[in-house]
Amino acid sequence: MATKPSIPKGTRDFSPAEMAKRNYIFNTIRDVFYLYGFQQIETPAMENLSTLMGKYGEEGDKLLFKIQNSGDYFSGLTDEELLSRNAAKLASKFCEKGLRYDLTVPFARYVVMHRDEITFPFKRFQIQPVWRADRPQKGRYREFYQCDADVVGSNSLLNEVELVQMIDAVFAKFGIRVCVKINNRKILTGIAEIIGEADKIVDITVAIDKLDKIGLDNVNAELASKGIAQEAIDKLQPIILLSGSNEEKLATLKTVLAGSETGLKGIEESEFILSRVAQLGMKAEVELDLTLARGLNYYTGAIFEVKALDVQIGSISGGGRYDNLTGVFGMDGMSGVGISFGADRIYDVLNQLDLYPQEAADAIQLLFVNFGEAEAEYVLPFLFKVREAGIRAEIYPDSAKMKKQMSYANAKSVPFVAIAGENEMKEGKIMLKNMESGEQSLLTLVELITVIKG
């Protein structure tokens, strides 16, 4: 008896209905990217391990899927190395390639390799899968898609303003109410300086980033456990709990961070972005949030994170400014800023809020019934013409019983069925059945197209 097939943990199959929804997400995001002048690139699923290793920290390196070399990969190993059972060392000997962990490092590699062909500033986007050898759990997969847009080769804060506009445009098209949270790495650095704990910047921000999850008391306990002085923790309280409008927060910060040149620079950058965004009449809420500290070691300026307002879920988009994207590959001084949309989480939000348009779910709009050879020959020109008019249509391939063909239409949620028998053929028309109402109409080709296209 054959073994029942399965797929690796942390991966998924997608049905036609699910793919229709996913393509709606990708196409909507892609359309906005094109609207703002971004150009699409793709990079290989696998990269050289020398490209990937050391770019994501020690934990990230552990989550890389490594690809075994083809051929006799044991030939270069000594018996001593084999018997050592040192997995990391052995993998370095017979694995030269790995699956990409994200789209950012491959993009940095792409920029360095193609620098002579690229016109800077370079606005690129990628919509591709990535792989992480993580422990699969609800909402976390080993294979998932990222939808990234980045501008490299420009320090202008107008890029940040445009990225916020793009976030607003995407979620407005989806009908999802969101809050765009903004912060700046320089403000966080300034806060650490002012409270006298500049060397503990990572510990401070990692802790305050958990405020909405674990509460203020637990944040303070974590800060103390990292060796941060109580006096510094006390100074941090009014900053963590800062409230009011964006303008009021910025005004307070200017006073609090008056002694930090770096902090004041972060305030200036945030003020520029927020003031320009405020003039645009966007649908999304935009909030300065000092507890936002995503990817602190990676970002150097503005930081973004997007929360859905009507669903309890993690961030559905995020990004920020980084000063030396290509430095790891020997090309220094290439600043960039980017955002990434979480397609899988957006999929879950749209499902929970039932926001998919009908056309995102209905693959076929019209099915032609097949009564036999003569009838099929008669409807083929109709089928050609309706497809030419942009209507998704098909003919049932076999001359089967009417009940079987109607069951097929119902199973695929086809809204209209076209029927042509002896009477319809004599009149040169088609009987169109609305599968929802059951109503039937004898129509010309032009009338049929008009009805289906609404």
Give 187 or 294, the one with higher predicted confidence: 187
- C-beta separation of 111 from 122 below 8 A: yes
Say if residues 391 and 452 touch (Cβ distance below 8 Å): yes
Would you say residue 214 lies in a domain? yes
| Residues 299, 224 share a domain | yes
Question: Do 188 and 272 have their domain in common?
Answer: yes
pLDDT at 219: 86
On whether both 183 and 305 belong to a single domain, the answer is: yes
Q: What is the CATH number of the domain that holds 277?
A: 3.30.930.10
- The per-residue pLDDT for 361 is 62
Average pLDDT over residues 263-273: 97
Q: Do 215 and 299 fall within a single domain?
A: yes
**83 confidence band (pLDDT: 50, 70, 90):** low
* Predicted confidence (pLDDT) at residue 78 exceeds the cutoff of 80: no
Contact, 257 vs 268, CB < 8 A? no
Coil, helix or strand at residue 327 = helix
Specify if 48 maps to a domain: no
Question: Per-residue pLDDT for 54 more than 90?
Answer: no
For residue 276, is it within any domain? Answer: yes
Domain that holds residue 265: 177-309
- What pLDDT, in 10s, does the model give residues 120-165? 999 999 999 999 998 887 777 899 999 999 999 999 999 999 999 9
434 three-state secondary structure: strand
Do residues 371 and 294 both lie within one domain? no
Residues 134/59, Cβ–Cβ less than 8 Å: no
pLDDT at 383: 97
Q: Burial letters for 359-375: b for 16+ Cβ neighbours within 10 Å, e otherwise?
A: ebeeebbbbbbbbeeeb
pTM of the full structure: 0.87
Q: Which CATH number fits the domain that encloses residue 441?
A: 3.40.50.800
In a domain, 227, yes or no: yes
Does some domain include residue 104? Answer: no
**Average pLDDT estimate for 19-38:** 96
Q: How many distinct structural domains can be found in the chain?
A: 2
For the chain, percent of residues with pLDDT exceeding 90? 67
Co-location of 397 and 298 in the same domain: no
Last residue in a domain, options 309, 343, 371: 309
CA distance 362 to 364: 6
Answer yes or no: do 301 and 191 share one domain: yes
Q: What is the mean pLDDT of the chain?
A: 90
Of 387, 366, 349, 417, the C-alpha closest to 21 is 349
Band of the pLDDT at 441, cuts 50, 70, 90?
Answer: very high
pLDDT beyond 80 at 413: yes
Domain boundary residue among 309, 344, 376?
309
Q: Rounded to an integer, what distance in angstroms lies between the CA atom of residue 336 and that of residue 359? A: 37
